[in-house]
Amino acid sequence: MNRREWTWKSPILGENLTMGCWGHFGKPVLLYATATSDHLDYEKFKVIHVLKPLIEAGRIKVYCVEGVSGRAWVDKEVGPGHKAWVQHLFDRYVTEEIVPFIKNDCGGVEGIVAAGASLGAFNAVCIAAKHPEHFDAVIGMSGTYDYDRWMGSYRDATYYFNAPLYFLPNLPEGPLLDRLRKVRFVIASGQGRAEAAWESERLAGILKAKGIPCDLQIWAHDVHHDWPTWRTMLPMFLDRLV
């Protein structure tokens, strides 16, 4: 499979970032890297390989961005306020730079699938929850959704509005929630090594309570927080959604 890459200096984040793309036609899938990964980890760990039938059939076109915000969250040298601010900037980077680029590259298509594993799952959920006008499906695998572990007692509005576990339960009736109810969420987790299935269950409970379509998938105790799990999950869920 051919891979295309684009690198540009983001005016929002102020650094050079690269995005990879696999496929020639099909539903655009925005794939978020894990915590400190670059845009090629899904290829390196054979996730792109298992998506090859869907890609070559023209059913999906996969775009992968770097784990910018993930690096900030796990960085022990920066404070909680900075972590939340980087997440805010990353959200702007995706919505103002990446999403328009993908739509233009796909001939003006409207609906994008947001997907990711681990901290990438958080980003996929967060972007669609805040900007559902751009997305019609989300796949969160082995998600890390509770970021209080990195915030200590620090709380501010930036963190609140970039933490779905906080802002989703308080969404009022209105256009944003109406649009979110048209987005299909698949929230999946194993119960094996390093998994935190209760975080997926908590998020799914919030989504369902707000009337947002959510398919919660809790897999077995021998399903671990690792690439073999995501290589199994992602093609299965995408095959159902597209």
For 109-128, the pLDDT digits (tens) are 889 999 999 999 999 999 99
pTM (2 decimals)?
0.97
pLDDT average, residue stretch 151-173: 96
Instruction: State pLDDT tens for residues 19-52.
Output: 999 999 999 999 998 877 788 999 999 999 999 9
> How many structural domains does the chain have?
1
Degrees to nearest 5, angle at CA 119 with 116 and 125: 55
CA torsion angle 74 28 42 127 (round to 10): 10
Residue 84 is part of which domain span? Answer: 3-241
Q: For the domain that residue 137 is a member of, what is the CATH number?
A: 3.40.50.1820
Contacts of 213 (CB under 8 A, 6+ apart): 181, 183, 184, 185, 207
Among 71, 74, 90, 72, smallest CA distance to 30 is for: 90
Separation between Cα atoms, residue 116 and residue 143, nearest integer Å: 8
Cβ atoms < 10 Å from Cβ of 11: 10
